[in-house]
Amino acid sequence: MTAPADQRTADDIATLRSWIESCGPGGMVFFGGAGVSTESGIPDFRSTGGLYSHSQKYSYPPETMVSHSFFEAHPQEFFQFYFDRMIAPEAKPNQAHKKLAELEQRGVCRAVITQNIDGLHQVAGSRNVYELHGSVHRNYCTGCKRFFNLEETMQLHQAATDGVPRCPDCDAIVKPDVVLYEEPLDEEVITGAVQAIAQAELLVVAGTSLVVYPAAGLLRYFQGDKLAIVNLSPTSADKSADLCINAKVGEVFGW
């Protein structure tokens, strides 16, 4: 007789937790996507209620507005969308962020590799974090390269009559250090992420549908013992995984 789905999920969660707890020093690496932060109130991109579902409010599709060429040609519209939909300064780390920070402090989690730009892993206490798509907390003047944190950039945005944050030193646009479409990923970040994945005995992939490349392609560097995938919906890598759990990331990491 087949166990009920809820019981199977509970059993699978228990299995993953036992794998994590039995890892050697630095044996686990976590690879996360938007689903890690949805429980902190940050919308993902493609689900109902996600970032792309609000496209009717704007004159351009969201995919267009988060491209480098759009940023260059239409900075006012870019920043309207960016500050409306892509930052969540009030968001707090959830159970998954906190557990991963704890696992790092205990020497279990070697690294967190994230596709998110919200910085919540660091707020929770994780230190070895590879941000594949950058961070809203880092912003740079496109002219003199002066650094601005998120709060400062928001103040510049609010003070500007057109909503475009500009450097008080040279008047050039202040650009968020996030990877837009048409922009390459940071090579140092990619190198670090690849090395971490290659050294992992357990790779936990969570909150991502694995459709965004080149980030999703990093999984091919995993040579360890166990691959676990935690996502509400199936992913393209499920057939390669040793364990698949269709549940919220915070639920799985809530111990």
Q: Which sequence positions are flagged as catalytic?
A: 133
Helix, coil or strand: residue 79: helix
Determine whether the annotation assigns residue 38 to a binding site.
yes
Q: How far is CA 81 from CA 52, 54, 64, 91, 253, in A?
A: 11, 10, 11, 18, 32
23 in a known ligand binding site: no
**Is residue 244 marked as binding?**
no
| Residue 78 is assigned to a ligand binding site | no
**Coil, strand or helix: which one is 202?**
strand
Q: Is residue 249 part of an annotated ligand binding site?
A: yes
Is 232 marked as binding a ligand?
yes
Burial class of residue 136, CB neighbours in 10 A (0-12, 13-18, 19+): buried
Q: Is 167 annotated as a binding residue?
A: yes
144 assigned ligand-binding residue = yes
Q: Distance between CA 190 and CA 169 in Å, rounded? A: 32
Give the Cα separation of 248 and 222 in Å (integer).
23
Q: Is 113 annotated as a binding residue?
A: no
246, 13 Cβ separation under 8 angstroms? no
Q: How far apart are the C-alpha atoms of 88 and 96, rounded to whole Å?
A: 18
Determine if residue 48 is labeled as part of a ligand binding site: no
Whether 16 contacts 243, CB under 8 Å = yes
109 annotated to bind ligand: no
Annotated binding site: 34, 38, 45-46, 115, 117-118, 133, 141, 144, 167, 170, 208-209, 231-232, 249
Annotated binding site for nicotinamide: 45, 117-118
Annotated binding site for NAD(+): 34, 38, 45-46, 115, 117-118, 133, 208-209, 231-232, 249
